[in-house]
Amino acid sequence: MDNDKRRGILGVGNPLLDISARVPSEMLVKYEVKSGDIILAEEKHMGVYDELVGSYEVEYIAGGATQNSIRVAAWMLSEVEGGGTAAFVGCVGDDANGKKLAEVATAAGVTVEYQIDAATPTGLCAVLVDDSNERTLITRLDAANNYKRSHLESEAVQKLLGAANVVYSAGFFLTSGGPDCTTLLGAHCVENGKHFCLNLSAPFIPQFFGEVLDKTMPFVDILFGNETEAAALGEARGWGSDPAVVALKVAAMPKQSGAYARVVVFTQGSSATLVAKEGDVASYPVPPLDKDLIQDTNGAGDAFVGGFLSRFVLDEPLAKCVEAGHWAARAIIQRSGCTMPPKCAFASEI
């Protein structure tokens, strides 16, 4: 396998332009949200995006769960001699926000190839940071929900797919691109000896999209999730809610390719991360962090995956991948939003 393939990660998911600003508490009252809410926008929230841009000092971030992980992976790979590639595809609108999203993603070191939906605006997430440093997220998916398999089959995306050895999607993509896309990606990985990775992303995925998950799971080489998502999956399957038991059950599910044993990675906040493979579960303690240093835990899961994959694509052992995931999550939770310091210092700090 050539060097580009060995070091390439491709994310496929639902891209959002995060628009973040510090706001007074009156802003939350105006839009009828509570501090810390994470919600999908209703009609009453639609004015928040223009108001943020027009009245506050905003920061634009290339968001959405998959794109967050790919940005973190690009950052983690940036310190590696010879580097590595991190690319992302998804659907945006033919508008200024779509162009801004491409601009900030590219600036973060990610190669993007967006499908353009001329009829639907780019997906947005308003990030309201209040006086207590709590973040309230108001998301409108719009074009992010409209990704088509035909874009995956385009020459530009096939080139990115060809250069990647690891393909990653958050579970949210199962509700938009769906099994049409994930099975195409999975089949490509099976046929070419690559790794297809999926994140459960939220409890509602195993609870309400079990059939879609079933169609995708035979292709999955690495499944990520947290303890809440693991419990939801276990309860939906009648396995109980113990993350270690669920991890072993998932690792043993039928697989399309026997080239790699499935790996299941369940994070548990500050408790140990569990990794199941071939009938065994390993436990990796999370290095402690003073609570006073924690600013925002919302991006921790996305950051963990980005860190993990940045070392997995370099053929590092699973223990090193988990270490990189923990380190990335630790770096991100000390900042507001899923943002990174300019320089990655993983290699020098470990």
Please write the tens of the pLDDT for every residue from 124-179: 999 999 988 888 999 999 999 999 999 999 999 999 999 999 999 999 999 988 88
292 a catalytic residue: no
Burial of 327 by CB count in 10 Å (0-12 exposed, 13-18 middle, 19+ buried)?
buried
pTM of the model: 0.94
- 212: Cα within 13 Å, side-chain hemisphere: 20
- Per-residue pLDDT of 333-349, as tens digits, reads 999 888 999 999 897 67
Is residue 11 scored above 70 in pLDDT? yes
- Per-residue pLDDT of 89-126, as tens digits, reads 999 999 999 999 999 999 999 999 999 999 999 999 99
CATH number of 3-16+63-122+140-349: 3.40.1190.20
- Percent pLDDT > 70 in the chain is 98
- Cβ distance 219 to 186 under 8 Å? yes
What is the mean pLDDT of the segment spanning 313-324?
A: 97
- Per-residue pLDDT of 206-258, as tens digits, reads 999 999 999 999 999 999 999 999 999 999 999 999 999 999 999 999 999 87
Burial of 162 by CB count in 10 Å (0-12 exposed, 13-18 middle, 19+ buried)?
middle
- Per-residue pLDDT of 276-295, as tens digits, reads 999 999 999 999 999 999 98
